């Protein structure tokens, strides 16, 4: 991991933007500058480095001397230099933005991608330092102090690019970070959505033990990747990062890297004087991994900010083949907790075994009865409300790569579920998954007892047409049909004595699926732009298997499309989450092409 000095040095690099008006529109000019060390907002500590030419020494009174006279002379020269720079800036500012920024002929997406690649190769160290610093801030949604730090850091990152930024507050959580950047003459507005919170972490499960200290490896851990130092960067030797290197940290892929890729794409376009073709807005959420419980209400309160022609979600990985991906839908999600009860306390298995009901056995039998041998859910009505795919969606599915055999080899699966159907077909259907089981103890802590209870955590993934509450009711009704007395709180002694089988079933919330039609002019245009920038082998999917609350934006009248950039084998939601740098670099190019070329 880079030293604190190296990471902290990034904040001393910033951009100053000068707004100016012409008869046609407002524009932006930016120039890099170096800020003083130990930068503190609203303060100037005694030990802070003073501005050039200051006649004040920290901790000492002012006194007239030759030194003071020399300093006064320096100040005069400094003021003259600043005045000259201001005059030059104002002269430049009199030019309209297109004349300043636009090439003689607008570049095509492939040319934009090449220009961004050239910029990136000269700035890899700065980009990785910005990402590493962002990753170093813990970002669990329930960790309010740190999630607020993430939001404040995001504001600095956005404002450094001249993006007008607003924090949309959420009590006890990280705010929604909203930003906008207006482009003169742009006819369309595109909003990028991502989240800056991450999944909870168990440091002991991480190879390097510290999920919020970014680590660089020369390959994936599964491929024998070794930990390596971050390359040194200097005027004599530019730091170079190999495409196959991996950056390990929580949210390195989900979702902090897409945020940095978007901002780095903006930097590249400005450096190469390529104008944006669209107005840009961003919505960065701080509680997506906790279910986005406040997102809808927060956005509805600020609906006046949200007007756009398209929303692009950066969440999720590329296709499992490693090819770029554009997707038009995602599944919904329902969380369910099921607890089955035995005796009021754990019992000695020798004294009470074969007599006392074992809740671990009962919950196992219950769960096993929910599916057949091929994994098809046996709950009544489970597939009844699935909305059929349109012709464009069916065509896209037929054209998708068949990489199931490769995935089986990679993941060590001899026979998948699904009765012979392909993965891409199966994720167009609702699913039911056991995401965790708990009862008594295992391993070195194992005890010879009949457990007093057993708990299962379930999730149901929904497709278009299905209602989360109805899905929960279907599952609950099935549990009742298996002979369980279903409750939503701890059982009383009277209930225990009256019912042989008791299950506490808790609805943990959920949301429905969402899908944008693939045959819209906007849909076709964004596919064309991504393919032109990243290659004709870009995969186009009607829907991914994952869940993101895009239905909220759909209800607010926004069409949306997914353009993820991170590697599919990123350990998303698990330990050793990572980012393959080659995917990150290509993501910069794709996002830059969208910003520069998207128009319909």
The pLDDT averaged over each successive group of 10 residues in the chain (600 residues) is: 45 37 34 37 39 34 45 53 45 38 64 97 97 98 95 98 96 94 95 96 97 98 97 91 98 97 98 97 94 91 95 94 95 96 97 97 98 97 95 92 92 95 94 97 95 98 96 98 98 98 96 95 96 93 90 94 96 96 98 95
The one-character DSSP state at 282 is E
Same domain, 491 and 369: yes
Same domain, 523 and 435: no
For residues 322-353, one letter each, b for 16 or more C-beta atoms within 10 angstroms of the residue's C-beta and e for the rest, the string is: bbbbbbbbbbbbbbbebbbbbbeebbebeebe
Is residue 261 assigned to a domain?
yes
Same domain, 175 and 252: yes
Three-state SS for 183? coil
Is residue 231 assigned to a domain?
yes
Is residue 368 assigned to a domain?
yes
CATH number of the domain enclosing 469: 3.30.70.360
Of 56, 83, 101, which closes a domain?
101
Same domain, 533 and 505: no
Is residue 407 assigned to a domain?
no
Q: Check residue 531 and give its pLDDT.
A: 96
Same domain, 240 and 285: yes
Same domain, 345 and 436: yes
Domain that holds residue 481: 332-386+429-511
Same domain, 492 and 521: no
Same domain, 441 and 571: no
The one-character DSSP state at 393 is H
Phi, psi (deg, nearest 5) at residue 145: -60, -45
Q: Check residue 31 and give its pLDDT.
A: 34
The residue whose two tokens read 């960790």 is: 143
Of 101, 124, 143, which closes a domain?
101
Three-state SS for 149? helix
CATH number of the domain enclosing 319: 3.40.630.10
Q: Check residue 582 and give its pLDDT.
A: 97
Is residue 392 assigned to a domain?
no
Is residue 398 assigned to a domain?
no
Q: Check residue 107 and give its pLDDT.
A: 73
Same domain, 35 and 73: yes
Is residue 421 assigned to a domain?
no
Same domain, 79 and 180: no
- When divided into structural domains, the chain yields a total of 3
User: Residue 84 corresponds to which tokens in the numbers above?
Assistant: 């000259």
Q: Check residue 74 and give its pLDDT.
A: 54
The span from the CA of 507 to the CA of 150, in Å, is 30
Quick check: 212 and 136 in contact, CB under 8 A? Answer: yes
The DSSP bridge pattern shows strands 279-285 and 246-248 to be: unpaired
Of 101, 122, 147, which closes a domain?
101
The span from the CA of 12 to the CA of 33, in Å, is 8
Same domain, 454 and 571: no
Q: Check residue 455 and give its pLDDT.
A: 98
The span from the CA of 256 to the CA of 214, in Å, is 12
Same domain, 563 and 434: no
Is residue 397 assigned to a domain?
no
The span from the CA of 359 to the CA of 551, in Å, is 38
pTM of this structure: 0.76
3-state DSSP of 100-139: HHCCCCCCCHHHHHHHHHHHHHHHHHHHHHHHHHHHCCCC
């Amino acid at each position: 991991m880079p030293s604190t000095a190296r990471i902290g040095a990034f904040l001393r690099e910033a951009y100053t933007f000068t707004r100016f008006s012409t008869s046609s529109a407002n524009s932006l000019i930016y120039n890099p500058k170096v800020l003083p060390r130990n930068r503190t907002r609203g303060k100037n500590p005694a030990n802070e480095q003073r501005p050039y030419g200051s006649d004040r020494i920290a901790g000492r009174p002012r006194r007239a001397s030759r030194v003071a006279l020399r300093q006064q002379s320096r100040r005069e020269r400094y003021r003259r230099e600043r005045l000259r720079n201001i005059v030059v800036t104002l002269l430049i500012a009199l030019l309209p933005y297109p004349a300043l920024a636009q090439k003689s002929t607008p570049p095509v997406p492939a040319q934009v991608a090449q220009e961004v690649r050239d910029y990136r190769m000269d700035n890899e160290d700065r980009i990785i330092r910005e990402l590493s610093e962002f990753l170093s801030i813990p970002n669990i949604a329930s960790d309010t102090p740190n999630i607020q730090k993430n939001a404040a850091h995001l504001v600095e990152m956005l404002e450094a690019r001249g993006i007008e930024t607003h924090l949309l507050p959420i009590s006890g959580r990280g705010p929604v970070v909203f930003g906008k950047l207006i482009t003169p003459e742009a006819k369309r507005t595109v909003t990028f959505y991502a989240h800056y919170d991450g999944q909870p972490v168990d440091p002991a499960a991480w190879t390097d033990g510290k999920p919020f200290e970014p680590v660089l490896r020369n390959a994936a851990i599964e491929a024998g990747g070794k930990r390596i130092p971050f390359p040194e960067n200097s005027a004599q030797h530019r730091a170079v990062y190999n495409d196959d290197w991996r950056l390990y940290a929580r949210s390195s892929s989900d979702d902090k890297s897409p945020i940095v890729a978007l901002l780095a794409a903006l930097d590249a376009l400005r450096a190469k004087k390529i104008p944006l073709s669209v107005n840009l807005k961003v919505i960065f959420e701080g509680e997506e991994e906790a279910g986005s419980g406040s997102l809808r209400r927060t956005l509805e309160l600020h609906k006046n900010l949200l007007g756009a022609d398209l929303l692009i979600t950066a969440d999720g990985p590329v296709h499992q083949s490693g090819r770029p991906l554009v997707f038009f839908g995602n599944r919904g999600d329902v969380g369910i907790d099921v607890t089955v009860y035995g005796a009021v306390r754990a019992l000695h298995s020798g004294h009470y075994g074969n007599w006392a009901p074992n809740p671990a056995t009962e919950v196992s039998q219950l769960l096993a009865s929910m599916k057949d041998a091929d994994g098809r859910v046996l709950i009544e009505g489970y597939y009844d409300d699935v909305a059929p795919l349109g012709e464009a969606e069916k065509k896209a599915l037929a054209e998708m790569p068949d990489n199931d055999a490769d995935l089986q080899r990679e993941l060590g699966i001899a026979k998948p579920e699904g009765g012979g159907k392909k993965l891409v077909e199966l994720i167009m259907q609702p699913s039911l998954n056991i995401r965790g089981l708990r009862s008594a103890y295992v391993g070195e802590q194992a005890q010879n007892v009949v457990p007093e209870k057993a708990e299962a955590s379930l999730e149901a993934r929904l497709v278009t047409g299905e209602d989360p509450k109805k899905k929960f009711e279907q599952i609950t009704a099935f549990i009742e049909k298996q002979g369980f007395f279903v409750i939503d709180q701890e059982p009383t002694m009277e209930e225990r004595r009256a019912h042989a089988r008791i299950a506490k079933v808790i609805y943990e919330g959920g949301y429905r699926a969402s899908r944008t039609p693939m045959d819209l002019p906007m849909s076709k245009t964004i596919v064309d732009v991504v393919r032109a920038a990243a290659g004709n082998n870009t995969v186009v999917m009607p829907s991914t298997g994952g869940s993101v609350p895009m239905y909220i934006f759909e209800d607010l009248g926004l069409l949306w499309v997914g353009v993820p950039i991170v590697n599919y084998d990123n350990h998303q939601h698990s330990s050793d989450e990572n980012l393959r740098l080659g995917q990150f670099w290509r993501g910069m190019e794709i996002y830059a092409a969208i910003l520069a070329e998207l128009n319909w």
